[in-house]
Structure 1
Amino acid sequence: MDPALSRRAFLLASGATASGVALEIALPAAPAASSIVTPSATTPMTTVRTVARPHGTGAYRRLADGPGWRRVTRTDLADAGKDRAERRTVLACFVQFTDLHITDAQNPQRYEFLRAGDLGSWRPHEALTAVGAVSLIEQINTLRYGPATRAPIGFVMTTGDNTDNNSRIEMEWFLTAMTGGRFTPNTGDPGAYEGVQDSGLGLYWQPDSGLRDVDKRAGFPHLEGFLKAAVREVSSPGLAVPWYSTIGNHDQLFGGAYSGAGGFFADLATGSRKLFDLPASEAGAVYRALRRGDPTGARFRAAWKRYRGRTRTVTADERRAPLSPHAYIAAHLDPAYTGSGPVGHGYTRDNLDSGRLDYSFRIADGVVGISLDTTDRGGDYRGSVGTRQLAWLERTLKTHADDTALIFSHHPSWAMTNLTPNPARPGEKRHSGQELLAVLRKHRNVAAWINGHSHLNRIVPHGGLWEISTASHVDYPQLARVVELADNHDGTLSLFTTLVESAAPHRTDFTDLSQSGLAALYRELSFNSPGIRSGLAGLPGDRNTELLLKKH
């Protein structure tokens, strides 16, 4: 999801709120306090055991341990056999990461100034995305097994928005975090932070300053040394299991929404002029244009040029250059980033030659994974797929007709409404999420479509398959999802989904600016972020579940 879109506005625009109401009617009631799972020595560290919850009162609320979320059995697509647990065998166990948004918070191409028109357009915690991602990796390495079946975790799949600004340096940080190593989340002047958080502008949280900015008036703390710590070297162990990558709109488009029209955004990203603020009326106009759909960023570019006199000088940095699809694939194929494998993390030399970002891979005997690129290179934060992609998908599903198929993409069905032509294929038709669903429903071997983008936990039945959309790791409650597929040997399959937080402690210490302390602060700041929409954790049946479906 684009940071310029408030959570509330985006979900209303995408229809997620209305659908959530309908889903709530069909689901069991929320658990009574006595049925909520409490911590035990044998329960793995997932949200079944405990979840970070706010405590106390006041504008800024501290987080601490809270009760976990129970597992809900959903029988929308198939009945639950009485003795299925004794008969079942595990087919696959893996983890979904989505919307990590590893961010170069100092990139001149960023549009933090939209906050003047909508508070939710900028996150006060964005400088900590790198330590937050590493903390999640540490948690998965510790987890090791699926919490429902105890099957070993086989791999991790990212479902896009791995980075935030489509830049080479962010991709390097992401790949280093995933494969292991050290990196410094800082660009421009290596000895100074040059972003909005030391600008002296009250529109943004100024953590090192005594200024009573918008966020401090909402209870945010004064943290001397925060910015120095935020751009300090980060150490990642890398994932201990293989991982695969799916691309999102922020990995391909400027700001997750704009195509590279005329080179304006590329020049802006690598240049030395940054626009820190706009009048509220102008910021609101750019924000509304983005929401409606402004694929080439015409309204953004007009505002930037009109207010160029308000820009400030920052240190130019060529490492912020955008990545073409070819360069994106090549970065994944770089042997330096193989880690636990596989080479290319799903992408192959064939992808490099063709520039196509779709691929299939063998998950296990009888189970195939298919990764789809749902970002429209013509621009816009909403997704779609091209005719050639749909034809490739049909062929792939027919080839694997005897396998259970799991589909991965960035956008969910309800956010695939952008049919802007791809500049590279102007004559090719684009297709919506509903059209993609129609193809998937024709193939009875498709068990699930797993995605992200909306930063919301939501699970929807579609005929014979489940659509599983997972909340982001940048907005609270900052989650990943374990998915376990099992054959019940009674004509049904079970898909178990379990949400996972990072390894960071729930409680924060404002004096602890270590890597772990910053990761804990990352979560708490995200909870308190002004403009955040509540309810991104979803309903009980969108969180920890057993999803029944008929075996094809």
Structure 2
Amino acid sequence: MSRIRSVATSALGVNRRTVLAAAGAVSLSAGIGYALRPTDSEAATDAQAPVADSGQASAAGPLAPYTKGTTLASVAAPQNSSGYCRLGDGPGWKRVVRSELAAPKSGRASRRTTLAAFVQFTDLHLQDVQHPLRLEYLRSNAPHAWRPHEALTVPGAISLVERVNALKGAPVTGAPLHFVMTTGDNTDNNAHSELDWFMKVMSGGRITPNTGDPGHYEGVQNSGLKLYWQPDSTTRDNDKALGFPHLKGFLAAAIREVRSPGLNVPWYSTVGNHDALPMGCFGSHGDPYLAEAAVSGKKLISVSAADARKLQEAISSAKDPRGAGYRDFLKAHARSMHSVTPDEKRAPYTPADYLKAHLDPAHQGLGPVGHGYSSANLDAGTQYYTFRISDDVIGISLDTTDPGGDSVGSVGTAQLNWLDKTLKDNKGSYAVVFSHHTSTTMGNTRPDPARPGEKRHNGAEVLSVLSAHANVLAWVNGHIHENVVTPHQGPAGRSFWEISTASHIDYPHLARIIELVDNKDGTLSLFTTLIESAAPHRTDFADLSQTGLAALYRELAYNAPGASKTLQGGAGDRNTELVLKKG
């Protein structure tokens, strides 16, 4: 793959507003990525733009590795084997070399040069836990349908930001981290309140994770119902029967103001189904009753197990993509609803609202302006774009959510053709593709109501496009809340790795550092290293500070009834070296 410094003469140029951070121009070596000027009405589509010298990121020879604060050094681990488990420091996870796509050659560590280094966040699921449309009552049918730690998503996410800020370089190469990419489900209920919290978590600011009554929690955790953990009460609820603690003052602490420092590197955003669809599954052109119910003063918190099962089956089978059945379900249980304080901040946000929030100067942080999105996206109603990661690498962010409804994804013909053209037009650069959905969770081809005549395409069709281009190195995604690394072998020896990373809502609460290197021997390596939040592994039930809550967030998630204990994946899905032949 040839280097592309010569593209500095391109007439397209760089959108200067996009590459300047709030504090001024920042060079790539300090961590700035480049979003590109849109060239048509659909999205920012061309990655042929000049880039600053990448300094250490492309320096010859390895830099000092930096493993402190990564799962190579230590991982949270249970300290007892039965009942409610307290967490503490556990041994780190070793790195596994995977050679399914190319044989690693000896001596590569002394030859390699760094192409790029960045961090992936995914499935933060920041939650307004008092929102009237939430489905907590499904827990009567399935224990994991509601999680005892959900009120702590905001301090948990801030602690993840603090972890990235504390890293002094990439774990293998020591190269500066260029940026953070979030791969969707940044919010949970598609509520304006959550979108505001997400933007402030990422770019910095003060957040009060509370809606409704400004001084009082109004949700399932002070309802007195044994179905849910009642932390402030001595009631022996179902979770306390499993060892969950009585923590007086927990709910007041969970809704008080916290502060995020914001990332100290630029960040980019990819949209997920929970960001685009109410409850992550009901079509964006769905029943207007749901929008009204979201801001209302009524909240359903308890139904029979039989009723919960019927609703859960309708949602999981995608038989109610527009939410009409959910509307009827809520109306049928109207007399059982509890009164809460109405709040307009809980209103669902539209795709345009999502873009405007990213373009808002108040949320710029270290940039880039729009965090990948541009005014062209807003004009065209699209949420996909491309950007330059480094001299030799472009990033491509896809929108895999189907506006017609369902948590399963797909892409439209226009986007698939754009992806193919973007890869073709940038064949002189390596490419990393980002999306929310994985290749195996893109089977929903229901038409987009806004584009009823446009065909939708599944994951196999996206794989076919990616496999046709020798410059694709990786497809990085989330959605499944599990660490899975999959090799894809295409025609004529073309191959790439699909890297799916666990969520930050279900234990083990991981993000991933990805380093791209040229081994100078006909192969490339992608190093993946998982990180936890900066919160200590050990918790203190008396510590309800912002940091103490972030630690509790992890421990409560580990103990959540019904939670899977396999989401961390196998050794080959965690800290890895993924070897590829050069295209």
The reply to whether TM is greater than 0.5 is yes
Task: Report matched runs for 1:37-436 at 5 Å.
Answer: 43-260=67-284, 261-293=286-318, 294-436=320-462
1:528 counterpart = 2:563: no
Aligned residue for 2:279, secondary structure, equals coil
In 2, the alpha carbon distance for the partners of 1:482 and 1:42 equals: 12
C-alpha offsets along residues 427-475 of structure 1, whole Å, 9 cap, x if unaligned? 2111111111011001111000000000000000001000000000111
Shift of 1:534: 1.5
Shift of 1:297: 2.4
C-alpha offsets along residues 281-323 of structure 1, whole Å, 9 cap, x if unaligned? 0001111111111312233222211111100111111111111
Which structure 2 segments of 5+ residues have no match?
1-64, 490-494
Paired position in structure 1 for 2:572:
541
Shift of 1:274: 0.6
Paired position in structure 2 for 1:486:
517
Shift of 1:426: 1.2
Paired position in structure 1 for 2:29:
none
In 2, the alpha carbon distance for the partners of 1:107 and 1:219 equals: 27
Structure 1 runs of 4+ off > 3 angstroms? none
**Which of 446, 456, 464 is the matching residue for 1:438?**
464
Shift of 1:42: 7.0
Amino acid at match of 1:67: P
Paired position in structure 2 for 1:36:
none
In 1, the alpha carbon distance for the partners of 2:195 and 2:175 equals: 31
Amino acid at match of 1:540: A
Paired position in structure 2 for 1:11:
none
In 2, the alpha carbon distance for the partners of 1:266 and 1:117 equals: 26
Paired position in structure 2 for 1:505:
536
- The count of corresponding residues between Structure 1 and Structure 2 is 512
In 2, the alpha carbon distance for the partners of 1:42 and 1:123 equals: 34
Paired position in structure 2 for 1:28:
none
Aligned residue for 1:467, secondary structure, equals strand
Identity of matched residues, %: 60
Amino acid at match of 2:332: R
Amino acid at match of 2:463: L
Shift of 1:419: 1.2
TM-score when scaled to structure 2? 0.87
Paired position in structure 1 for 2:39:
none
Aligned residue for 1:157, secondary structure, equals strand
Shift of 1:183: 1.1
Of residues 256-265 and 206-215 in structure 1, the stretch that sits farther from structure 2 once superposed is 256-265
| 2:523/2:582 contact within 8 Å kept | yes
Aligned residue for 2:259, secondary structure, equals strand
| 2:508/2:567 contact within 8 Å kept | yes
Of residues 314-323 and 478-487 in structure 1, the stretch that sits farther from structure 2 once superposed is 314-323
Shift of 1:57: 3.2
| 2:188/2:275 contact within 8 Å kept | yes
Paired position in structure 1 for 2:487:
461
1:449 counterpart = 2:475: yes
In 2, the alpha carbon distance for the partners of 1:527 and 1:445 equals: 39
Shift of 1:133: 0.2
In 1, the alpha carbon distance for the partners of 2:271 and 2:443 equals: 18
Which structure 1 segments of 5+ residues have no match?
1-40
In 2, the alpha carbon distance for the partners of 1:526 and 1:361 equals: 35
Aligned residue for 1:353, secondary structure, equals helix
C-alpha offsets along residues 329-371 of structure 1, whole Å, 9 cap, x if unaligned? 0110000000011000000111111110000000000100000
Aligned residue for 1:406, secondary structure, equals strand
Amino acid at match of 2:510: L
Amino acid at match of 1:272: G
Amino acid at match of 2:307: E
Amino acid at match of 2:539: T
TM-score when scaled to structure 1? 0.92
1:473 counterpart = 2:504: yes
In 1, the alpha carbon distance for the partners of 2:288 and 2:66 equals: 55
Paired position in structure 2 for 1:16:
none
Of residues 328-337 and 286-295 in structure 1, the stretch that sits farther from structure 2 once superposed is 286-295
C-alpha offsets along residues 485-522 of structure 1, whole Å, 9 cap, x if unaligned? 00111111100000000000000000000000000000
Of residues 292-301 and 335-344 in structure 1, the stretch that sits farther from structure 2 once superposed is 292-301
| 2:127/2:151 contact within 8 Å kept | yes
In 2, the alpha carbon distance for the partners of 1:334 and 1:226 equals: 33
In 2, the alpha carbon distance for the partners of 1:333 and 1:117 equals: 41
C-alpha offsets along residues 189-239 of structure 1, whole Å, 9 cap, x if unaligned? 001100111111111111001111111111111100000000010111100
